[in-house]
Structures are given as structure tokens and as C-alpha cells.
Amino acid sequence: MNRTEPLVLGIESSCDETGVGIVRGNTLLANAVSSSMEEHVRFGGVIPEIASRAHLDAFVPTLRQALEEAGVTLDEVDAIAVTSGPGLAGALMVGVCAAKALALATGKPLYAINHLVAHVGVGVLDGGELPENLGALLVSGGHTEILRVRTLTSDVELLGSTIDDAAGEAYDKVARILGLGYPGGPAIDKLAREGNPKAIRFPRGLTQPKYMGSAEVPGPHRYDWSFSGLKTAVARCVEQYEAAGQEPPVADIAASFQEAVVDVITAKAVLACTEHGITNLLLGGGVAANSRLRELTAERCAAAGISLRVPPIRLCTDNGAMVAALGAQVVMAGGEPSGVAFTPDPSQPVTSIHLPAA
């Protein structure tokens, strides 16, 4: 197997995007994505069974599109990488079974890859080698985490995460409360530009300092987030206007909600970076497309002397290119294939970057 500039095919199916990407070393050759989002709109969120069936329908056409876009054949591929977790169990199973079938049919080595670390690994496709002292802020529909990345392929540490809703989930739920439809992120981001972000002071969860006597001490959730209380506060706000026979100021509520989310996300991410000597930060995940999150992250990183790196939006959302990118890094680092005996892990921790052979 070529471990210098391996040609790696990556498969992603952790949620509602069927992604197949192809990279050669650090170079992106193809990134084909088929989304089933439209099939979930009437339900106001992703329905796992519908997502799984959509993956079944989309996989072969998406694979063919990626191979054609890259101008390569399966015979030329050096290795196959697939998301093994975290994600929706049924959706993961479709991608993993497809990858195993391809590996058995072609005789290519198969690597089971961590979805979250792949969001970091995609950075090599836009700017080359990742810097030292690296942290990653991942914000998506299912995940909100701050990671410390000592070595991309072997040493990743979780510093903080949401203890309830992910930021993207909070956007979707608040959009439903405000009658903005699904997905909520783009709708709220657009409407917030017309509102006043200081109109309503919504709560910032888990931000109150802990004291022992008169001395402030780090609490157990110093770098963690909670958005459930914020979602409830928005609902109560709307109810109060309606109870008074008034039309809720939807744009102001959207802007104030968004400011509460991005304020606490960026504040805690920068705090984690400064207290752990992290001087470079990568922002990834689908919510990285949010204009206010990108703006405030850049502003606060600059003030703290932290270099910020944000991949293009098409590489921030779930895709096969990020899986291929991390797979290629594991291959080049001498990592051994996972074989075909592994099972998907919907709760795969970030410390498990790629699964060893069973």
C-alpha cells in the first residue's frame, strides 16, 4: 500500500448526508454529497429511519459521482475509510456495510474513522499540514465540542462538550417555536440580521463562577455548554407576548437567541484555549456556516492572540472528503487497517480516532 501519498476513498453516513470523498495525500480530488434534508423538513428534524433508507438509495450514485469527478477507478484506490461513529446507529450501519462490501470486493484495506476527528482532519485539505498547539471547536446539529489536538492521528482530548442539546439542535427547536421551519440555523441567521441582538437578555448556561469561600474555583463544567435552558427561555418569552395579546418581535428574539448561543460558545472555547496553551483553533461542523459565529470567533481569537482556521463551508458540513482526509493521515502515519469485523459505535469517543482490527 502506498503510504506516501495514498489514494483514499472516504464514506460518510452518520446523519442525513451521504458523502463519498476521494483524496490523494493532502489533495482533494472529489467530494460528492447527497442530502436527505428535504425528506425531514415536514417532521422538523432528522428521522433516523428515513435517513437510513435515503443512504441506501443514494450510496451507489454518490460513489459513482465521486469516482467520475476524481477521474479514478476503484482498482486505483489504496484504501477505504468510513465513519464508524459517533452518529445515528442505523445511518452508520448503512455506510459501514457499504464500505465493508467494497473492501471485500476489491481487496482494499478498510479504516474505521471517527466522525468528529474527521471534522478536524479536513483542515489539511485547505491549508495543508495542521499547526501545533491546535484546538478544534466543532459546532453542528448533533455535536458541540472543544478538542485539544496534540497529534491528529493518535492523541485527541475532549476538553468540553454540551451536556444536553447541541447548538444546531437548539437552533432547530427555537426556529420551530418562532415558526421559521427546518433547518433552523440558516433561517435564524438570516432573520437575526434584521433584529437587535441586545433586545432580550437570554441566559448563558453554565457560565456562573463557582466559589469556595471568597475564592473563585473552576467548576465541573468549566468548558461545557447547556442550551436547554436557553430554548425554554425563548419559549417563555414568546408565550408572554402572546398572553398579552401582542405579536412577538421575532427578528429581535432570533437575534438575541443567536447572540446568546455564539457568546457562550466562543467565550468558553477561547477560555479553554488560553488555559491549555492552545494557540491555533480550527472551527468546524455545519453550524460553522453561521455568520455571527464566524465573526465573533474571529474577533475573540484575535483579541486572545489565537490563530483561527475555518475550512470552506462545503468542507465544514458532513462529507466524505473529511473521512478520506483523516483516513489518508492515518495511512501515512503507519496506522493499521481496521479489518471488517468492527461494528459502528454511535457514541464513539474522540479518543478513539480510528478503530483497531478486532
Q: Provide the CATH number for the domain around residue 250.
A: 3.30.420.40
What's the confidence (pLDDT) of residue 214? 57
Task: Evaluate whether 40 touches 182 at the Cβ level (below 8 Å).
Answer: yes
Same structural domain, 282 and 205: yes
What's the confidence (pLDDT) of residue 45? 79
Same structural domain, 164 and 148: yes
**Residue 173 parent element (H or E):** helix 167-177
What's the confidence (pLDDT) of residue 216? 55
Same structural domain, 176 and 122: no
Strand, coil or helix: what is 344? coil
Q: Which residues are annotated as a binding site for substrate?
A: 138-142, 172, 185, 189, 290
Same structural domain, 249 and 234: yes
In a domain, 346, yes or no: no
Structural domain tally of the chain?
2
- d(Cα 320, Cα 339) in Å, to the nearest integer? 19
The mean of the pLDDT values for the chain is: 93
Q: CA angle at residue 11 from 165 to 87, to 5 degrees?
A: 20
Same structural domain, 174 and 305: yes
- d(Cα 289, Cα 286) in Å, to the nearest integer? 6
In a domain, 44, yes or no: yes
Structural domain boundaries enclosing 83: 7-126+315-332
| Helices 167-177 and 184-192, axial angle in degrees (round to 10) | 70
Same structural domain, 119 and 147: no
Alpha-carbon radius of gyration of the chain: 21
- d(Cα 13, Cα 20) in Å, to the nearest integer? 9
Prediction pTM value? 0.93
Contacts of 19 by beta carbon, 8 Å cutoff, 6+ apart:
10, 11, 12, 13, 31, 32, 33, 34, 62, 318, 319, 320, 321, 323
Same structural domain, 280 and 319: no
Sign of CA dihedral 170, 348, 108, 129: positive
- d(Cα 47, Cα 39) in Å, to the nearest integer? 9
Same structural domain, 210 and 276: yes
Same structural domain, 170 and 226: yes
Residue where the block lists cell 417563555 = 236
In a domain, 339, yes or no: no
What's the confidence (pLDDT) of residue 2? 84
Residue where the block lists cell 469516482 = 67
Low-confidence ranges of the chain (pLDDT < 70): 209-219
Contacts of 294 by beta carbon, 8 Å cutoff, 6+ apart:
283, 288, 310
What's the confidence (pLDDT) of residue 213? 57
In a domain, 338, yes or no: no
Strand, coil or helix: what is 116? helix
Q: CA angle at residue 124 from 120 to 125, to 5 degrees?
A: 110
Q: Are strands 134-139 and 280-284 parallel, antiparallel or unpaired?
A: parallel
Q: Which residues are annotated as a binding site for Fe cation?
A: 115, 119, 318
In a domain, 348, yes or no: no
Q: Are strands 215-217 and 280-284 parallel, antiparallel or unpaired?
A: unpaired
Same structural domain, 65 and 179: no
In a domain, 320, yes or no: yes
Q: Which residues are annotated as a binding site?
A: 115, 119, 138-142, 172, 185, 189, 290, 318
List Cα–Cα distances, 343 to 86, 320, 328, in angstroms. Answer: 12, 19, 21
Contacts of 57 by beta carbon, 8 Å cutoff, 6+ apart:
none
What's the confidence (pLDDT) of residue 218? 63
Comparing CA positions, the residue from 308, 314, 264, 320 lying closest to residue 286 is 314
What's the confidence (pLDDT) of residue 207? 79
Alpha carbon distance, N-terminus to C-terminus of the chain:
21
Task: Evaluate whether 287 touches 167 at the Cβ level (below 8 Å).
Answer: yes
Same structural domain, 287 and 201: yes
Same structural domain, 169 and 284: yes
